[in-house]
């Protein structure tokens, strides 16, 4: 699969959408930038649509990736005009999630997210049919679009029921686990920041770590014991964040992300080796997502990871001002720097919470 991408001119957007495209299985033939991506009719200007048609014809792309959310009519118009498949940012993220989903729960969550993606688009189609073809059939029953719309709704109800089942068994399991431990500690952070690598180090696990985006979609929980083996906390690794994550995707993964809402301590992992602008954007985006999940900022311990890649190899280059107010640990999950400090901080910061009751 070969794609031409339309995105915003800033470096961060350009780089991120290319990584997403590759994670979705595409090779990138060209990147076209535009200050404003969502415009009526095509999502891009008419002139741009023409230019894109020329471009995909010449470079042999079979797909046009648009780094924004398009309505179904925008996507259809653009596809008709360029003669290639049009994939918007949401669709691309959903495709990646679908590729990565391995467990039953993750698969159900992705299916639910896909229905949520399709529903407003089906609604669009209903609106068209009301204006157009359906006029002549008034009173003659349902159109194909109505039927599709209702089928989507029905499938959604079924999926929600199945997910509720998975959710309640997860809650039960969690309660059991918490009986034998003092606290729940959860990893959070941008995709590819190194959460699973840190988790594997701390819990002596071997879960898949990879430079590809969204490697982890399902929560794994393990017990770790503190200094002198006196205390046990549960440590959870979970799905990563990305900027402009569609809200319904967060909602579909609610049971997975709930781990963060109820955690006593959230380890927010930042890839500190990236350019300061990227670090700042990703940090802000993580804070937003944690806010949406109603995580108390007071429960956050920042983990500035990948310090081995920083100049001087000591983590000196990490911009401090950005993180004011948060307790911070610097680590290299691959080289092992700061792992002892991280473990100590985890047990230190969960100490007072020992008395807390887990009646949820
Ligand atoms: N140099 C360096 N690379 C690291 C470090 N920690 C993780 N990595 C690499 O970064 C990539 C992503 O690591 P993961 O642990 O899979 O990241 P994640 O946050 O779990 O990502 P998702 O599950 O996709 O959200 C892998 O290629 C790791 O080997 C580190 O401290 N230093
Ligand atoms: Mg992971």
pLDDT tens-digit readout, 11-32:
999 999 999 999 999 999 999 9
What pLDDT score does 347 carry? Answer: 93
The model's pLDDT over 307-338, given as tens digits with 9 standing for 90+, comes to: 999 886 555 555 666 777 889 999 999 999 99
Tokens of 148: 């599709």
The model's pLDDT over 270-319, given as tens digits with 9 standing for 90+, comes to: 999 998 889 999 999 999 999 989 999 999 999 999 999 988 655 555 56
With bands split at pLDDT 50, 70 and 90, how would you rate the model's confidence at 166? confident
CA distance 359 to 13: 43
274 CA to middle of ligand 2, Å? 18
Nearest alpha carbon, ligand 1 atom 8: 194
pLDDT over threshold 90, residue 255: no
The model's pLDDT over 109-144, given as tens digits with 9 standing for 90+, comes to: 999 999 999 888 877 766 665 555 544 444 445 677
The answer to the question of residue 140 being in a domain is yes
The answer to the question of residue 187 being in a domain is yes
State percent of the chain over pLDDT 70.
89
The answer to the question of residue 347 being in a domain is yes
Both 195 and 296 in one domain: the answer is yes
Both 203 and 297 in one domain: the answer is yes
pLDDT over threshold 70, residue 344: yes
Both 14 and 123 in one domain: the answer is no
Q: CA–CA distance from 34 to each of 68, 260, 285, 286 (Å)?
A: 11, 36, 22, 26
Please state the domain count of the chain.
3
The answer to the question of residue 155 being in a domain is yes
Q: Which strands, in side-by-side order, build the sheet including 300-305? A: 220-225, 232-237, 183-189, 265-271, 300-305, 328-330
Both 39 and 60 in one domain: the answer is yes
CA distance 88 to 43: 10
Both 271 and 322 in one domain: the answer is yes
Q: Which residue has the higher pLDDT, 77 or 246?
A: 77
Tokens 């495209």 correspond to: 21
For the packed helices 104-131 and 72-82, what is the interaxial angle rounded to 10 degrees? Answer: 80
Q: Which residue has the higher pLDDT, 267 or 150?
A: 267
What pLDDT score does 142 carry? Answer: 63
pLDDT over threshold 90, residue 351: no
Nearest alpha carbon, ligand 1 atom 11: 211
What pLDDT score does 127 carry? Answer: 62
Q: Which residue has the higher pLDDT, 315 or 216?
A: 216
Both 115 and 19 in one domain: the answer is no
The answer to the question of residue 170 being in a domain is no
Q: Region 47-57: what's the mean pLDDT?
A: 92
Q: Region 170-184: what's the mean pLDDT?
A: 83
**CATH code of the domain covering residue 82:** 3.40.50.11060
Both 203 and 304 in one domain: the answer is yes
Q: Hey, which residues does 4 pair with through a beta bridge?
A: 30, 64
Pocket of ligand 1 (CB under 6 A): 189, 191-197, 209-211, 213-216, 240, 305-306, 308-309, 332-334
233 CA to middle of ligand 2, Å? 20
Q: Which residue has the higher pLDDT, 93 or 351?
A: 93
The answer to the question of residue 167 being in a domain is no
CA-nearest of 227, 148, 233 to 184 is 233
Ligand 1 pocket test, pick from 100, 195, 209 with the greatest ligand atom count within 8 Å of Cβ, gives 209
pTM for the structure as a whole: 0.88
Give the residue from 77, 96, 115 where a domain finishes: 96
CA-nearest of 346, 203, 214, 216 to 268 is 346
Both 331 and 206 in one domain: the answer is yes
With bands split at pLDDT 50, 70 and 90, how would you rate the model's confidence at 357? very low
CA distance 168 to 163: 9
Tokens of 330: 């610097």
Both 70 and 130 in one domain: the answer is no
With bands split at pLDDT 50, 70 and 90, how would you rate the model's confidence at 42? confident
With bands split at pLDDT 50, 70 and 90, how would you rate the model's confidence at 178? confident
Q: CA–CA distance from 242 to each of 19, 62, 92, 309 (Å)?
A: 12, 26, 13, 22
What pLDDT score does 223 carry? Answer: 92
**CATH code of the domain covering residue 209:** 3.40.50.300
State percent of the chain over pLDDT 90.
57
The answer to the question of residue 169 being in a domain is no
Both 16 and 34 in one domain: the answer is yes
Both 202 and 241 in one domain: the answer is yes
Both 223 and 209 in one domain: the answer is yes
Nearest alpha carbon, ligand 1 atom 9: 194
Q: Hey, which residues does 300 pair with through a beta bridge?
A: 266
26 is in which domain, residue-wise? Answer: 2-96
What pLDDT score does 159 carry? Answer: 92
With bands split at pLDDT 50, 70 and 90, how would you rate the model's confidence at 219? confident
Q: CA–CA distance from 304 to each of 13, 49, 317, 334 (Å)?
A: 22, 42, 11, 13
Q: CA–CA distance from 138 to each of 124, 127, 144, 238, 342 (Å)?
A: 19, 14, 14, 50, 67
148 CA to middle of ligand 2, Å? 36
Indicate which atom in ligand 1 lies nearest the CA of residue 213. Answer: 24
The answer to the question of residue 190 being in a domain is yes
pLDDT over threshold 50, residue 5: yes
DSSP three-state, residue 346: helix
Indicate which atom in ligand 1 lies nearest the CA of residue 187. Answer: 19
Nearest alpha carbon, ligand 1 atom 14: 194
Ligand 1 pocket test, pick from 101, 210, 220, 242 with the greatest ligand atom count within 8 Å of Cβ, gives 210
On average, the pLDDT of the chain sits at 86
Rounded to 5 degrees, φ, ψ at 237 are: -110, 140
Rounded to 5 degrees, φ, ψ at 322 are: -60, -35
């Amino acid at each position: 699969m070969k794609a031409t991408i339309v995105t915003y001119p800033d470096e961060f957007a350009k780089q991120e959408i290319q990584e997403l495209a590759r994670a979705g299985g595409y090779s990138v033939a060209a990147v076209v930038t535009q200050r404003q991506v969502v415009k009526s009719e095509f999502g891009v200007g008419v002139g741009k649509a023409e230019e894109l048609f020329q471009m995909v014809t010449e470079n042999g792309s079979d797909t046009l990736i648009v780094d924004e959310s398009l309505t179904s009519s925008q996507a259809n118009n653009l596809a008709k005009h360029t003669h290639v498949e049009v994939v918007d940012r949401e669709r691309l993220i959903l495709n990646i999630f679908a590729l990565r989903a391995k467990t039953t729960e993750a698969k159900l969550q992705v299916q639910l997210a896909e229905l949520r993606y399709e529903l407003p688009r089906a609604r669009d189609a209903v609106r068209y049919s009301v204006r157009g073809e359906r006029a002549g059939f008034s009173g003659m029953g349902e159109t194909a679009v109505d039927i599709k719309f209702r089928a989507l709704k029905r499938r959604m109800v079924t999926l929600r029921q199945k997910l509720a089942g998975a959710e309640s068994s997860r809650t039960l399991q969690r309660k059991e686990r918490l009986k034998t431990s003092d606290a729940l500690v959860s990893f959070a952070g941008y995709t590819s920041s190194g959460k699973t690598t840190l988790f594997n180090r701390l819990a002596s696990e071997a879960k898949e770590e990879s430079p590809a985006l969204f490697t982890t979609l399902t929560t794994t929980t393990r017990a770790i014991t503190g200094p002198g083996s006196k205390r046990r906390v549960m440590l959870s690794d979970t799905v990563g964040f990305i900027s402009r994550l569609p809200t319904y995707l967060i909602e579909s993964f609610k049971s997975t992300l709930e781990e963060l809402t109820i955690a006593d301590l959230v380890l927010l992992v930042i890839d500190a080796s990236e350019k300061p602008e990227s670090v700042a954007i990703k940090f802000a985006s993580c804070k937003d997502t944690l806010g949406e999940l109603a995580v108390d900022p007071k429960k956050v311990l920042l983990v500035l990871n990948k310090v081995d890649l920083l100049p001087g190899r000591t983590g000196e280059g990490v911009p401090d001002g950005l993180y004011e107010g948060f307790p911070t640990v610097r680590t290299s999950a691959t080289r092992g720097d700061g792992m002892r400090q991280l473990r100590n901080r985890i047990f230190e910061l969960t100490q007072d919470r020992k008395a807390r009751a887990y009646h949820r």
